[in-house]
């Protein structure tokens, strides 16, 4: 789960990272009032869950409250990478920007450790820096039992040529960012840019945070911050139904119980020359209602030309699944061919229900995959 800039920056500030004073708003009139209170010179920033807002025209500097209101009118409702802007953040302008630095704490999966990453060449072109001049990016791994040591922030500060009088503040910012990362179960805390202001101070003018979804159960405050307005409808519906669903590019929809079996099913479809349209794990003990929801989710993808249902009955009962399929087909009228393979608990009862409804069934997974691939016109 990703947080908006204003949410991330507030969490950074709780750990002592300096951020500009600011406020979020949903209407130009509100923006004018906030700009007036902040003292006029503000930056109006689109709050959407994507980067590159600056380049898309979603970040504008305003010198007066009237100008802030005008820009808010342009930015609110704007489309940035397919996301509609519903909120803007009004921040007091940084008093001049001498330099834009990139600073982040993130997980290095390869090393299985949190890592500090920084660059003197921060700002809107950081992706290009990472791509073309990776030597301009400095990293240092954090030992979780020790936390950030001062030699680490000193090393980074010297590598990015930070003026020496800012090293102490920089250390506190790195420590604060790591504290924020750890206490919120984040997988990323990023400040881009961390600026050196005209007054010679460090200031975090942008913020991004990704939270580990698996930690949301113990982070109720963060769970409430989730902005579902930008989530694909299908993924929202899946999450509410307790279904693990990930959209892919192929044309064979899959409905499987268990993540491992779902992966296997996708592999076998590939083996027979097909392309899975999604990963879908309906979980253990799925009932008819959930099966119906899963089928609706799969059918909501216009790319789907066939569906392969592969259920291994353990806690999940074959007859329940079969009933769910029939129920779903009552609700969603569709001509899309389906192949069902049931095995395990109550599979025979389930197969009988499906046979009555004249549905195509398969005994082995290979057989099922072959039939599904044939249904979409053969191997690609």
Chain residues binding Mn ion by CB under 5 A are 192, 206
Smallest distance from ligand GDP to CB 126, Å: 8
Q: Half-sphere exposure of residue 339, counting CA atoms within 13 Å on the CB side?
A: 23
The answer to whether residue 358 is catalytic is no
Smallest distance from ligand GDP to CB 196, Å: 12
Query: Is the separation of the CB atoms in 206 and 193 below 8 Å?
Result: yes
18 binds ligand GDP (CB under 6 A): no
Q: Which residues share a beta bridge with 308?
A: 254, 339
Q: Which does 99 bind (CB under 5 to 8 A by kind): Mn ion, ligand GDP, none?
A: none
206 binds ligand GDP (CB under 6 A): yes
Write out the binding residues for ligand GDP, residues 78-117 only, by CB under 6 A. 91, 93-94, 97, 100
The answer to whether residue 71 is catalytic is no
Q: Half-sphere exposure of residue 95, counting CA atoms within 13 Å on the CB side?
A: 7
Choice from 18, 123, 337, 344 touching ligand GDP (CB under 6 A): 123
Choice from 1, 49, 196, 205 touching ligand GDP (CB under 6 A): 205
Token pair of 211 as six digits: 């939270």
| Residues contacting residue 59 through CB under 8 Å, at least 6 positions apart | 43, 44, 45, 46, 53
Instruction: Provide the Cα torsion 313, 317, 323, 324; round to 10°.
Output: -70
268 binds ligand GDP (CB under 6 A): no
248 binds ligand GDP (CB under 6 A): no
Q: How many helices (H) and strands (E) does the chain have?
A: 13, 19
Write out the binding residues for ligand GDP, residues 33-52 only, by CB under 6 A. 43, 45, 51-52
List 100, 190, 305, 320, catalytic entry: 190
d(CA 134, CA 147): 26
Smallest distance from ligand GDP to CB 2, Å: 12
List 6, 102, 178, 320, catalytic entry: 102
Smallest distance from ligand GDP to CB 121, Å: 12
53 binds ligand GDP (CB under 6 A): yes
Coil vs helix vs strand at 242: coil
Element (H, E) at 113: strand 113-119
Decide whether 50 or 64 has the Cβ nearer to Mn ion: 50
Smallest distance from ligand GDP to CB 118, Å: 15
Coil vs helix vs strand at 319: helix
Q: How far is CA 44 from CA 31, 246, 316, in A?
A: 8, 34, 52
Query: Is the separation of the CB atoms in 32 and 69 below 8 Å?
Result: yes
- Please give the positions annotated as active site: 102, 190
Q: In the complex, which residues of this chain contact ligand GDP (CB under 6 A)?
A: 43, 45, 51-54, 59, 61, 91, 93-94, 97, 100, 123-124, 192-193, 205-206
């Amino acid at each position: 789960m990703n947080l908006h800039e204003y949410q991330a920056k507030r969490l950074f500030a709780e750990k002592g990272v300096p951020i500009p004073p600011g406020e979020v708003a949903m209407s130009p009139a509100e923006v004018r009032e906030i700009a007036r209170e902040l003292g006029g010179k503000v930056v109006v920033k689109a709050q959407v869950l994507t980067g590159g807002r600056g380049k898309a025209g979603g970040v504008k500097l305003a010198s007066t409250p009237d100008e802030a209101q005008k820009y808010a009118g342009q930015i609110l409702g704007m489309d940035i990478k397919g996301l509609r802007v519903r909120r803007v953040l009004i921040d007091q302008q940084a008093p001049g920007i001498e330099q834009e630095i990139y600073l982040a704490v993130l997980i290095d999966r390869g090393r299985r450790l949190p890592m500090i990453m920084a660059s003197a060449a921060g700002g809107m072109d950081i992706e290009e820096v990472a791509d073309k001049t990776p030597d301009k990016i400095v990293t240092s791994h954090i030992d979780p039992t020790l936390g950030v040591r001062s030699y680490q922030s000193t090393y980074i500060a010297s590598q990015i040529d930070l003026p020496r009088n800012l090293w102490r503040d920089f250390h506190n910012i790195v420590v604060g960012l790591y504290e924020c990362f750890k206490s919120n179960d984040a997988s990323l805390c990023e400040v881009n840019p961390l600026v050196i202001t005209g007054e010679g101070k460090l200031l975090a003018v942008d913020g991004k945070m990704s939270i580990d979804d698996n930690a949301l159960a113990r982070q109720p405050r963060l769970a409430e911050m989730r902005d579902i307005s930008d989530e694909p409808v299908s993924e929202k519906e899946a999450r509410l139904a307790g279904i693990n669903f990930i959209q892919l590019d192929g044309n064979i929809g899959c409905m499987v119980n268990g993540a491992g079996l779902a992966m296997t099913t996708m592999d076998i479809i590939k083996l027979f020359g097909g392309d899975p349209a999604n990963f879908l794990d309906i979980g253990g003990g799925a009932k008819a209602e959930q099966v119906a929801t899963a089928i609706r989710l799969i059918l909501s993808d216009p790319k789907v030309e066939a569906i392969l249902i592969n259920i291994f009955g353990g806690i999940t009962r074959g007859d329940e699944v079969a009933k769910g399929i029939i129920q779903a087909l009552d609700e969603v009228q569709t001509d899309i061919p389906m192949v069902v393979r049931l095995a395990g608990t109550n599979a025979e009862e389930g197969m009988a229900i499906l046979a009555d409804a004249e549905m195509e069934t398969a005994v082995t997974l290979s057989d099922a995959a072959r039939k599904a691939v044939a249904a979409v016109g053969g191997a690609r």
